[in-house]
Structure 1
Amino acid sequence: MTYLIREANAQDFARLADIEKAAAILFSEVGLPEIAEHDPTDLDFIEAAARAGVVLIAVLDGAPAGFLLAAPLDLHTHIYELSVHPAHGRKGLGRQLVEAVCDWAEKKGDQAVTLSTFRDIAWNGPFYASCGFEEIARHEWTPALLLAHYREEGAGLPMERRCFMRKNLH
């Protein structure tokens, strides 16, 4: 299977929620049913990410299979969401999307790509580590990362399982 990875357009945005909802169901299998039940990313945020950064979509035979939302946070590109429909999982699509956003960030001159994730879920922390990301020690957090941490905490995420990660591009 060959996926086409391209920048999403406004017509694609409404189709992303179905992918995110399908992918979120996997969190029930690792003891996080509240994430599976959470509303998908709202259209306003997707549009804002597209204006300030990039929304990448992976398409197979004209149908969306996965997507990635990234936009600036501090001086880096930050991955806000990566979702792959389970029907397309475990085929390297998530890695292709991560590589595509890293290439995009490097071309625009960013020094690094950051993200927030669960450190102990196979398709989260260990997956990103296999893509070259490293956990950011708390004493290295910027004010923006600290605010993101507070937002996640306020949303009720289990913070002992969360971490920020960074991949240096140069």
Structure 2
Amino acid sequence: MTYTIRQAVAADLPLLADIERAAGALFADANIGEVDVDDVAELRLIESVARAGGVFVAVKDDAPVGFILAAPLDIHIHIYELSVHPAHGRQGLGRRLVDAVCDDASARGFKAVTLSTFRDVPWNAPFYASCGFRILDPAEWTPAFYLAHYHEADMGLPLERRCFMRKELK
């Protein structure tokens, strides 16, 4: 299958919720507690990230099959979400989407890309480590990371399994 990575266009944005739901179903087997697969990013949030130039999609036959949301947080670009429809998984699309964000961030003068994820879910921290990210010690957290951490607590995520990661850009 031939896939293309490109910046999202307005017509792509309403289609991302179905991809997010399908990808979210994979967490049911990850022992992270109750996962509400219908709790997807609001379209208004996705539109705001798109206005900041931070929505990239993986497409096949011009239909999105994966996406990444990334926008500034503090002084770095932060990946808020990466989802690939399971029917198109294991094709390297997640890595290509991460690379697109890192390349774009570097071209825009950012020095690093950050994210928050599960430490022990194979397609989370171990995957991002393979992309060049490292887990941050809490002594390295910025005020915005603490606010994001508190938000994750409000969402009921198991904080002991969460981490922030950063990749330095060239």
What residue identity is the alignment partner of 1:161? Answer: R
Residues 58-81 of structure 1, C-alpha deviation per residue, up to 9 Å, x if partnerless? Answer: 101122110000000000000000
State the number of aligned residues: 170
Query: Helix, strand or coil for the counterpart of 1:47?
Result: helix
Moved more, 107-116 or 54-63: 54-63
For residue 149 of structure 1, what is the aligned residue in structure 2?
Answer: 149
Amino acid at match of 1:126: P
Aligned equivalent of 1:48 = 48
**SS at the partner of 1:81?**
strand
DSSP-derived class of the 1:15 partner: helix
Partner of 2:67: 67
Shift of 1:30: 1.1
Change (3 A) 1:138 1:75: same
2:88 maps to what in 1?
Answer: 88
**In the TM superposition, what are the counterparts of 1:1-170 in structure 2 within 5 Å?**
1-32=1-32, 34-170=34-170
Checking the alignment, whether the CA contact within 8 Å between 1:28 and 1:36 is kept in structure 2 is: no
What's the C-alpha RMSD, in Å, of the aligned pairs? 1.1
Q: Answer yes or no: is the 8 Å Cα contact 1:135–1:163 preserved in 2.
A: yes
Task: Kindly indicate whether the alpha-carbon contact (under 8 Å) linking 2:32 and 2:158 is maintained by their aligned counterparts in 1.
Answer: no
What residue identity is the alignment partner of 2:78? H
Identity percentage of aligned residues: 63
Shift of 1:9: 1.3
- Pair 33,26 (structure 1): closer, same or farther in 2 beyond 3 Å: farther
Divergent runs of 4+, >2 A: 32-38
Q: CA deviation at 1:38?
A: 4.6
- Output the TM-score relative to the length of structure 1: 0.97
Quote the Cα distance in structure 2 between the aligned partners of 1:104 and 1:71: 11
C-alpha separation in 1, matches of 2:120 and 2:55: 26
Q: Secondary structure at the match of 2:35?
A: helix
Asked if structure 2 preserves the Cα contact closer than 8 Å seen for 1:135 and 1:164, the reply is: yes
Task: Please report how far the alpha carbon of residue 169 of structure 1 lies from its aligned counterpart in structure 2 after TM superposition.
Answer: 0.3
Unaligned 5+ residue runs, structure 2?
none
